Copies of this chain bind each other. A is one copy, B any other.
Amino acid sequence: MYSISQLQDLINKQIVEKKYPVTPAELYDPITYIMSLGGKRMRPVLTLMACDMFGGHVTKALDPALAIELFHNFTLMHDDIMDKAPLRRGQSTVHSKWNDNVAILSGDVMLVEAYKTLVSSIDSSILRDVLTVFNDTAAGVCEGQQTDMNFELMQDVSIPQYLDMIRLKTAVLLGCSLKIGALIGSASTEDAEHLYNFGVNIGIAFQLQDDILDVYGDPEKFGKQVGGDILSNKKTFLLIKAIELAEDLDKEELQHWLSAADCDPASKISSVTAIYDRLGIRQLAEEQMNLHARKSLYELNKVSVKAENKQVLVDFAGQLLIRET
């Protein structure tokens, strides 16, 4: 079994060695650029891990894993246009460095490249199954992004609506990454499905952790500005739960901060955090996160390979439960 860092090295090498057509430069340079911005490569690593788990040849999963990373970066390229984001991993986004049109069209061809890379590397016996989960996932990710944008304009978002949004926007791609790796590793349909469910639940848990860390994270470790979600009134699990539970003075104060136009950022962060503390929001978010982490381990437990082959994924899920305490 390969370690996570070995698999990261393998996929990073695959990404660096991948060559795209030279012209038109405006179409293909942005692909090389965004793929070079780095990241943990979590999704392609999951594909390689799943293949490895069932004794499959990891080399056979490298191009499919690259296809998934291409798809993920295509969504980032288009999301950054829609969010008008200037930076991605500390560097200019594609639409800032070039322009919106370049980011639209280069993203389009990137999605096509993902399909090309899949179609040319997947065995015929599993091609339809792989493409079916990939297609359903790709549509789901678009649905999640649209729902997230809709939430910005909505007054009332419920917790079930929020959980369904993060399932689509973030979690199904982790499930898809694992399922494709499992299919390449010749896993049974049942095992591939259990790994898919493992991935979806771990993805939801990850997003909830991200919501919690945005408020309660160590600024040095978190990598993003603590309190960013509070400042932008982002409808996270924490805010939605707080709106649901707040009464009387807490409710008034929360509404004040949500509608305050010009306010001191530090005051807003500390005041809203204090409301969260009084309502016990952190604990509720951690319980929800734990629930999904446990569900993921329950699914992993059902996969019919020996325990030592699952250890790397157990560790992956376990990191969440550890950080929580």
Cβ A105 vs Cβ B78 within 8 A = yes
Tell me the residues in window 132-150 of chain A with beta carbons closer than 8 Å to chain B beta carbons. 132, 135-136, 138-139, 142-143, 145-147, 149-150
Name the B residues within 8 Å of A101 (CB-CB): 81-82, 149
A226 at the interface (CB under 8 A from B): no
Chain B residue nearest to A119 in the complex (CB): B131
Q: What is the total number of copies of this protein in its complex?
A: 2
In the complex with contacts A111-B111, A112-B135, A26-B146 CB distance below 8 A: yes
Q: Is the CB of A26 within 8 A of B150?
A: yes
Minimum Cβ distance to chain B for residue A186 (Å): 18
Min CB–CB distance A26 → chain B (angstroms): 6
Residues of chain A in range 106-123 having any CB-CB distance to chain B below 8 Å: 107-109, 111-113, 115-116, 119-120
Cross-interface CB contact of A78 among B104, B120, B146, cutoff 8 Å: B104
**A78, B108: Cβ atoms closer than 8 Å:** yes
Cβ < 8 Å to B, chain A residues 71-125: 78, 81-82, 100-101, 104-105, 107-109, 111-113, 115-116, 119-120, 124
Query: Shortest distance in angstroms between A191's beta carbon and chain B's nearest beta carbon?
Result: 22
Judge if A224 is at the interface, Cβ distance under 8 Å.
no
Q: Is A128 an interface residue (CB 8 A)?
A: yes
Name the B residues within 8 Å of A243 (CB-CB).
Answer: none
Also in contact, A142 and B27, with CB within 8 A (given A119-B132, A127-B127, A128-B127): yes
Q: Smallest distance from the beta carbon of A114 to chain B beta carbons, Å?
A: 10
Contact residues of A with B, CB < 8 Å? 21, 23-24, 26-27, 78, 81-82, 100-101, 104-105, 107-109, 111-113, 115-116, 119-120, 124, 127-128, 131-132, 135-136, 138-139, 142-143, 145-147, 149-150
